[in-house]
Amino acid sequence: MKHEFVEKNVGWLAVLTAVAISFGGLVEIVPLMNDKSATSVQPGLPVRTALEVAGRDVYIREGCYGCHSQMVRTLAEEVLRYGPASTAGESVWDHPFQWGSKRTGPDLARVGGRYNDEWQRIHLNNPRDVVPESNMPGYPWLAEEGFEPGEVPAMMKALKAVGVPFDDAAIVRADADVARKTKADAVVAFLQSLKFPKAVPLTATEAQP
Ligand code: HEC
């Protein structure tokens, strides 16, 4: 009877639905706010180079995330296929993070080093040259476009403003680092950087008890 009352009175239905959803949200979100592992940086996480930052920007511009996730789930089959499960600490410097959930193609969070640069360049230009059954589109124009002076330093400054620890010298050097590089070079550098960060071994002094 009570259920019928709620279903027949749209005002109550809206209010009670909002209460139920808010409760669900709080239960999921509040514990995470207090979980340090979700906000502290994964040990050994490298700061991206100028070329990788530029490549990441092209990755977002071209909508690669529409078909590729960058988050290995904790399921056994994912870990066997891709590598170590993703941690929140790997994405602390990723604005916006590229986790995604749409996988028309494979997850890319561990693709760094799986193929060499040449394979990646050919694949980006026309995937069917290396994977005949692929339905991924080709991006031939990326091999013809470069970067405007000032473009990459601006990206790095914006990321620095939201907490990515680029040092100023790297920002100053950025234009020189990407000069004569194409957008394809940048995407390949970015893809090769996608791997689980290796924890930096403790130095002898740090390891002392
Ligand atoms: C329409 C969907 C689609 C889009 C958009 C797309 N891909 Fe793919 N991608 C795929 C599919 C499907 C595969 C698997 C077949 C293959 O290897 O080509 C794949 C494979 C890959 C692989 C090889 C992964 C592996 O582990 O073998 C890389 C790297 C890759 N894509 C990068 C990119 C980049 C970079 C972009 C954007 C510039 C992009 N993809 C856009 C569908 C897509």
Q: Which residue has the tokens 């979700």?
A: 38
Instruction: Report residue 114 as tokens.
Output: 């799986």
Residue 39 reports pLDDT greater than 90 = no
Other Cβ atoms within 10 Å of 85 Cβ, number: 16
pLDDT at residue 18 is higher than 80: yes
Regarding the beta carbon of 39 and ligand 1, being less than 6 Å apart is answered no
Cβ-contact 51, 177 below 8 angstroms: yes
Tell me how far the alpha carbon of residue 154 lies from the centroid of ligand 1, in angstroms: 28
Mean pLDDT of the region 36-55: 90
Mutate to test the pocket of ligand 1, among 52, 57, 65, 67 (most ligand atoms within 8 A of CB): 67
CA of 85 to the centre of ligand 1 (A): 20
Ligand 1 neighbour 126 (Cβ under 6 A):
no
Residue type, 13: L
Which protein residue has the closest C-alpha to ligand 1 atom 28? 108
| Residue nearest atom 37 in ligand 1 by C-alpha distance | 64
pLDDT in tens, 49-66: 999 999 999 999 999 999
Contact between residue 153 and residue 161 where contact means Cβ atoms under 8 Å apart? no
Q: Is the CB of 121 under 6 A from ligand 1?
A: no
Structure tokens at 82: 């891709």
Is residue 197 exposed (0-12), middle (13-18) or buried (19+ Cβ within 10 Å)? Answer: middle
Does residue 82 contact residue 107 with C-beta atoms inside 8 Å?
yes
Q: Is the peptide bond before 96 cis (omega within 30 degrees of 0)?
A: yes
The whole-angstrom separation of Cα 124 and Cα 208 is 48
Contact 68, 199 (CB under 8 A): no
Q: Which atom of ligand 1 is nearest to the CA of 133?
A: 15
Q: Whose CA is nearest to atom 24 of ligand 1?
A: 106
Ligand 1 atom showing the smallest separation from residue 82 Cα: 26
Amino acid in position 197: P
> Per residue in 116-161, pLDDT tens?
999 999 999 999 999 999 999 999 999 999 999 999 999 999 999 9
Of 61, 68, 107, 188, best ligand 1 pocket probe by most atoms within 8 Å of the beta carbon: 68
Task: Report CA 107 to chain centroid distance, whole Å.
Answer: 10
Given the CA of residue 135, which atom of ligand 1 is nearest to it? Answer: 12
Mean pLDDT of the chain: 93
* Model confidence band, residue 114 (pLDDT cutoffs 50, 70, 90): very high
| pLDDT beyond 60 at 206 | no
Task: Write the pLDDT tens digit of every residue in 180-190.
Answer: 999 999 999 99
In which band, very low, low, confident or very high, does the pLDDT at 200 lie, cut at 50, 70 and 90?
low
Does the C-beta of 55 come closer than 6 Å to ligand 1?
A: no
Please, what's the b/e burial string for 140-170 (b: 16 or more CB within 10 A of its CB; e: otherwise)? eebeeeebeeeebbebbeebeeeebebeeeb
Looking at residue 2, its amino acid is: K
208 C-beta neighbours (distance < 10 Å), count: 7
Q: Kindly state the tokens that stand for 44.
A: 């050994």
